Amino acid sequence: MNIALFASGTGSNVYNVIQHFKSNDLINVVAVLSNKADAGALNHAKNAGVPSLTFGIKEFASAIKVEEFLAEKKVELIVLAGFLLKVPKSLIDLYPNKIINIHPALLPNFGGKGMYGINVHNAVIAAKEKKSGITIHLVNEKYDDGATIAQFECDLNEHDTPQSLAQKVSVLEKSHFPKTIEAYILKIK
Ligand code: GAR
């Protein structure tokens, strides 16, 4: 199974997923795509020898450039690893139940437009939640709305800040995201 990673940010998850599948004969990370030319994720791709593509917001909406690249690389499943744009319908139709996202909170709470990265953690801390975590889910046409594949939780206390929560969430992401992708692929194969 050939997978592509989409990312907009520093790419710590891209790095981690690439490392996880490096020694896997069944699952290959064959492409990294980003809407940001300076995304750290692209450096991780370069260092690992994984081909990459950058695209503008308008190019993504029409999806042709992206779809051609995915076809060229024979991509069978897409993983959004810190990707901030809404996925166009044409791409969702091309990959039914084969686009996975990671969200840094326990959906359906703290999701939706504008809810990414530290914004999510600010909202969770402001709401004085006792728990947060990560949700790994399928992508549909709405933000953070597709079927849940797995959730993992962390406890919060009164001393937690958005930054300390981000750290707890990052630990969960690093230990569970690649394994959950792998388990999902083995299930649908
Ligand atoms: C991750 O925490 C991921 O869950 C989040 O962006 C961060 C990217 O970090 N995704 C979203 O907020 C999607 N709504 P990274 O660039 O270091 O992998």
> What are 183's two structure tokens?
């388990």
The structure tokens 């709405």 sit at 142
pTM equals: 0.96
8 A C-beta contact, residue 8 and residue 37? no
Residue 12 CB–ligand 1 contact under 6 Å = yes
Straight-line distance from the first to the last Cα atom of the chain, in angstroms, rounded to the nearest whole number: 8
Which residue among the candidates 103, 121, 137, 176 is catalytic per the annotation? 103
Best mutation site among 5, 13, 99 for ligand 1 pocket (most ligand atoms within 8 Å of CB) = 13
Q: Which of 188, 187, 182 is nearest to 26 (CA)?
A: 182
70: domain CATH number? 3.40.50.170
Tens digit of pLDDT for each residue in 60-95?
Answer: 988 889 999 999 999 999 999 999 999 999 999 999
pLDDT at 45: 98
Query: What percentage of the chain has pLDDT greater than the value 70?
Result: 100
Number of domains observed in the structure of the chain: 1
Residue 110, C-beta contacts closer than 8 angstroms, at least 6 positions apart: 120, 123, 124, 127, 132
| Residue of the CA atom closest to atom 10 of ligand 1 | 82
Structural domain of 146: 2-188
Best mutation site among 120, 170, 173, 180 for ligand 1 pocket (most ligand atoms within 8 Å of CB) = 173
Q: How far is CA 103 from the centre of its chain?
A: 7
**Does the annotation mark 103 as catalytic?**
yes
Is the pLDDT reported for residue 143 higher than 90? Answer: no
